[in-house]
Amino acid sequence: MAEHRIRPRKFVTSVGLIVVALLFVPATSAQAQDTPAKPETEPAKTEQATDAPLPKKAEVLRNLPSKADLLTKPAFDWVFLKNDDALAVKPLQPRPRTLEQVNEKRKQLTQPPKVTRMPGESQDDFASRLRQATEEHRKLREKADNLELDLPDSTRNPEDEDDSSYKINVDKFVAEVLNFEDIVLRRVDLLLEKGELEDAYELLLFVDRRHLGWPGYDERLNRFLLLDAQGKLAQKEAEAAFVLLEQMHDRVKAAINSKDPLVRYATMGEDLKKCSVELGKAIDVLIEPAVKARDFRQARFHLGRLFKLEANHPNGTNWRDKLIAETSRLLAEATQATTAGKFDRAAALADEAALVWPSTPSLKNPHRAVSLRWPIVKVGVVGPVNPVTSFPFATEATRRRDGLTRLPFFEPTRIDGGARYRSRFLESWEPTDLGRQAVFTLRSNRSSWESTPIVTASRAVTALLERLEPNSPHFDERMASFIDGIAVRGPFEFSVKFSRIPVRTEALFAMPLGTNEQSSAELDQRYRVTASTDDSISLQRAVSEPERVLQRHLAEVTEIRYLSHEKAIQGLLRGEISMMPNVPAWQIDRLAADGRFFVRKYAVPQT
C-alpha cells in the first residue's frame, strides 16, 4: 500500500479507528503519484464522506432492507470490518462467496513462481525473465491481498483522473463480506418465519433471475415448499400439498447426491426427514377417502407416486399392507362362492381383488381359476346401454341387445360376392318340387358350448304361423306373400310350401323365431339380462355349460357406458374393459400397434 499516495478524504469511524484513510487507498494508476496533492480544505467528493460513524454489523443485520427496497433500489454488498463496522459498497467481484474466493486465490499465490531455464538461454536472459516473473507474481499477490470496492453513492469527479475505487487490505481490516443475494435471502428467512410466503417467493425468484444456482437459494426454496405444503394440508388441499412435497423431495435428494459444495447445504438431511413426514400426512389424506369409496385404482395411483419417491415409506407400506389384506379377503370370499356354486359372484369378487392390489403374491392362481370357470367380457360403448324404443329405427344399443339375446333362424356369416348364411337350429334343409317346397330338419341336441334352447318342430311352426296370420300383431306381409302353407312332419321336421319361389330361402327366414319375450326365451334366447342401470348392463348365458367340460366359453357380457370414444379408449388402456365394438378410424392404427390389443374386422358390414 506504500506505493500509492494517500488522498485527503474525511471518514470518521467508531472508537478505535482513527481515520478511514488508513483503510482505503485510491485504486489509481502509477502516473497518479506525480500529481500534486490537493489542499486539505478541498471538500469531499462523495456523499458518504460525512462525520457520521459507520453502522455496526448487528445494527444492519437487525434492520434489513424491506422487500420493496431490495427489488427497486440499486444492489449493494456489505463489508463487515474487524471492528464490527458495516460498509455498504457496490456489488463486489468475484461472487458468490466473495471473501472465500479471494482467500482461495491468495492461498494459491503463496508459492513463488516456478521459472525453468530454457535450452540455450543465457544466464542473464534467464535472470531477467526470473525477475520479471517475480515482479508480476508480487503484483498479483498485492492485488489479491486487497479488496477493491466502490462506494454505492460515489460519483466521478471530472477534475480527478482516478475513479471512486478503493482498496482495503483483507488481512488487516475485512472480517466478512455479505453479498447482495445473501442479504435478500436473509430477508426471505424473516418472511418465511412470519408466514408471508408470497413475498418470500417473489424474492426467491428475484435471486434466481440475478444469479442462477446461488448458494443458499435451494435451502430457502425447499423451506418455502415445505411451509407452503403444510399450509395446503391445513386447508385440506392434499393434492396440491403432495405436488409441492414431490418437488421438494426431488430437490433435496439432488442436493444430497450432489458433490458440488455450492449445491449441498447443512440442513438437507433434516429437510428430507421433514418432507418424508409431510408426505405421510398427505398420502393418508389422499388414500383414505379413495379406499372408503372403493376407488382402489386412485389409491394405487397415489401409492405409486409415494413409492417412486421413497420405496419403503412407513405410511405407504401401511396402506399397501391394508390393500393386500383386502385382496386376500376378497379372494377368500371368491373361493367360498365357488364352493357354493355361485360362479358369477366368485368372478366378480376375483376381479375386484385384482383391482385392489394386482401385485399380491397369492392373487394370480386363484384369479385365473375363477376367471376360467366363469369367463366375462367387459365391453365399452359410447351411448346408451339400454335400447331406446322411441325411435322409428333400431339404435345401436338395440342391435347389440338383439345380437346377444336373440338368435336368427338364419344368420349371415360373411359377404363374399353375396351373402352367406348359416343356421344353428337346423340339421339340414332341402328344397323339393323344383323349389316350390322346402323340408327343414331341426337339431335334436346342442353342443355343450351353445346356450340356446332345443327347438321342436311344433314350436317353430307355431312361431311362423303367428307371422302369417293377418290378425296377429306380428304379421309379416312379405313372408305371407311367399308362403302358401306349413306342415309338421315329425318332432324335429316340418315343411314349407311356397306360393312363389323366393330368390333366397335363407334371406326369407333371417329373423328370430320368437315374437315376444316369453316365446323368445323358449325358442332363440342366448343371453338374458341379469342387471341393468343407466351406465352398465350385464347379460348371462340362458343355458349354463355342463360342469365337466374341457374348455369353458363366454358366460357373461357386461356393457359399460362412456361419454366419448376418448374416455372408452382410456378405460381400455386402464383395463376397465376388454373390448370396444366400435373404434374411431383415427385410433385403430395406434391401438393395433400396441401389443396388448388386436383388431378384428366385422365379417358382415354394419353400415
Contact 226, 278 (CB under 8 A): yes
Average pLDDT of span 42-53: 51
Name the residue range of residue 201's domain: 181-311
pLDDT given at position 229: 97
Is the residue at 48 inside a domain?
Answer: no
pLDDT bucket at 35, cuts 50 / 70 / 90: very low
14 has a pLDDT exceeding 70: no
Average pLDDT over residues 163-189: 88
Is 606 inside any structural domain? no
Please check the confidence at residue 121 and state whether its pLDDT lies above 80: no
CA distance linking residue 334 with residue 343, whole number of Å: 8
Same domain, 263 and 297: yes
pLDDT at 533 over 90: yes
Q: Which of 178, 199, 220 is the last residue of a domain?
A: 178
Same domain, 212 and 292: yes
Residue length, the chain?
A: 607
Q: Determine the pLDDT at residue 24.
A: 47
In 3D, which of 413, 275, 296 has the Cα closest to residue 360? 296
Nearest to 213 by CA among 251, 248, 245: 251
- Say if residue 88's pLDDT is above 70: yes
In this prediction, residue 7 carries a pLDDT of 39
CA-CA-CA-CA torsion sign (259, 264, 270, 275): negative
In the chain, how many domains are there?
A: 5
Indicate the pLDDT class of residue 154, thresholds 50, 70 and 90.
low
pLDDT at 581 over 60: yes
Q: CATH number of the domain that 217 lies in?
A: 1.25.40
Stretch among 38-52, 202-216, 339-353 having the lowest mean pLDDT: 38-52
Last residue of a domain, one of 475, 494, 523: 523
Res. 190 pLDDT band, cuts 50 70 90:
very high
Quick: pLDDT tens for 429-440.
999 998 899 999
CATH code: domain of residue 464: 3.90.76.10
The per-residue pLDDT for 156 is 52
pTM here is 0.74
506, 424 in Cβ contact below 8 A? no
What tens digit of pLDDT does each residue of 238-272 get?
999 999 999 999 999 999 999 988 889 999 999 99
The partner residues of 488 in beta bridges, in order of sequence, read: 494
Q: Is residue 402 domain-resident? A: no
In a domain, 394, yes or no: no
Specify whether 298 is located in the same domain as 338: no
- Please give the Cα distance from 299 to 283 (Å, whole number): 9
pLDDT at 60: 92
One domain, residues 121 and 82: yes
What pLDDT shows up at residue 141?
Answer: 81
Does 121 share its domain with 60? yes
Name the strand (E) or helix (H) holding 437.
Answer: strand 437-442
Instruction: Note the pLDDT of residue 164.
Output: 61
- As a whole number, the mean pLDDT across the chain is 86
Amino acid at 79: V
The four Cα atoms 257, 263, 265, 271 give a dihedral, to 10 degrees, of -60
Q: Is residue 448 part of a domain?
A: yes
Count CB atoms within 10 A of the CB of residue 460.
22
Asked which of 145, 178, 211 is the last residue of a domain, the reply is 178
Looking at the fold, whether 480 and 567 belong to one and the same domain comes out as no
**Range scoring the smallest mean pLDDT among 10-24, 213-227, 342-356:** 10-24
Task: Tell whether 365 and 432 lie within a shared domain.
Answer: no
Using a pLDDT cut of 90, give the percent of the chain over it. Answer: 59
Residues 362-401 pLDDT 10s: 899 999 999 999 999 999 999 888 887 766 677 888 888 8
pLDDT confidence band for 13 (50 / 70 / 90):
very low
Whether the per-residue pLDDT at 481 is higher than 50: the answer is: yes
Shared domain check, 280 and 333: no
- At residue 34 the predicted structure's pLDDT band, cuts being 50, 70 and 90, is very low
Amino acid letter at 562? Y
In a domain? residue 425: yes
Q: What long-range pairs does 12-16 form, CB within 8 A, spacing at least 24?
A: 12/51, 12/52, 12/53, 13/53, 13/54, 13/83, 13/85, 14/53, 14/54, 14/56, 14/83, 14/85, 16/83
101 plus 155 within the same structural domain = yes
Residues 358 and 303 in one domain: no
Tell whether 194 and 306 lie within a shared domain.
yes
3-state secondary structure of 260: coil
DSSP-derived letter for residue 410 is S
Is the distance from CB of 279 to CB of 308 less than 8 angstroms?
no
Least confident piece of the model among 346-360, 557-571, 593-607: 593-607
DSSP code string of 555-606: -EEEEEEESSHHHHHHHHHHTS-SB-S---HHHHHHHHHSTT------SS--
Please choose, from the candidates 217, 194, 192, 214, the residue with its C-alpha nearest in 3D space to the C-alpha of residue 204.
Answer: 217
Of 69-83, 124-138, 544-558, 584-598, which gets the smallest average pLDDT?
124-138
Within-domain flag for 62:
yes
Residues 160 and 67 in one domain: yes
Residue 441 lies inside a defined structural domain of this protein: yes
* Arithmetic mean of pLDDT, 157-171: 67
**How much is the average pLDDT of 37-51?**
44
